[in-house]
Chain A
Amino acid sequence: SQKIEQNSEALNIQEGKTATLTCNYTNYSPAYLQWYRQDPGRGPVFLLLIRENEKEKRKERLKVTFDTTLKQSLFHITASQPADSATYLCALGSNAGGTSYGKLTFGQGTILTVHP
């Protein structure tokens, strides 16, 4: 069955360092992968989308890589700040037909805490 694993439940880093979060998947051939941020008691907020034919995407301090051979995505936050503390979710999507079309499957999330 399809499985998505985010490297760890929690990640603690010091302000100014780069946070690296991992998303691994098995038994899946996603057409695209998305990263979301979720704050406690709130709905997720979209951050970045990367498609299967793209290796890397950047947006300000954020960078996402997508390796379909390793079946892995890395999410980096450079020059991290305490305000970056949140849960980060990866989500995989398929363009396959039928009931899977456009459906997103989420990982369990990684809680990032950036200490001042």
Chain B
Amino acid sequence: GAVVSQHPSRVICKSGTSVKIECRSLDFQATTMFWYRQFPKQSLMLMATSNEGSKATYEQGVEKDKFLINHASLTLSTLTVTSAHPEDSSFYICSARTGPSSPLHFGNGTRLTVT
């Protein structure tokens, strides 16, 4: 149980375009989902906390207008990277959990390459 599905797994886009990444909890409801970013050989950096039915909470230094998060239902959160630039190229991973101190269930990540 507790499966999180993330799509797409890889995306290559041109500079200036926008990319949408979907994160779904398949067999449980997630009022809260988390979006992370990971650079090679570095740890997971929390970008924002996505709350169903309300605005996302962004970490310090993360541009909310650039990384748009929508959590429209209890099983779906989306991250849109707007006007992507090469420096946005990274591995983006979403996660969800069934309770406040419960383990995180991660999606398999999206490798974004901006050319």
Contact = CB atoms under 8 A, between A and B. Distances in A.
Same complex for A and B? Answer yes
B101 A106 contact: no
B103 A46 contact: yes
A40 B91 CA distance: 11
A105 B14 CA distance: 32
B104 A46 contact: yes
Given A41-B109, A43-B6, A44-B106, A103 B101 contact: no
Contact of A103 (B46, B105, B106, B107): B46
A83 B34 CA distance: 29
Contacts of B43: 89, 106-109
Interface residues of B, number: 24
A91 B80 CA distance: 26
A108 B42 contact: yes
Given A103-B46, A106-B43, A45 B100 contact: no
Contact of B106 (A31, A43, A49, A109): A43
A73 interface: no
Contacts of B106: 43-45
B95 interface: yes
Interface residues of A, number: 26
Interface of B: 4, 6, 32, 34, 41-44, 46, 49, 57, 91, 93, 95, 100-101, 103-109, 111
29 contacts: A9-B41, A32-B101, A34-B103, A34-B104, A36-B104, A41-B91, A41-B111, A42-B108, A43-B4, A43-B6, A43-B107, A44-B93, A44-B106, A45-B106, A46-B104, A46-B105, A49-B101, A95-B100, A95-B101, A101-B100, A102-B32, A102-B101, A104-B34, A105-B46, A106-B44, A107-B43, A108-B41, A108-B42, A109-B43
Interface of A: 9, 31-32, 34, 36, 41-46, 49, 89, 91, 93, 95, 99, 101-109
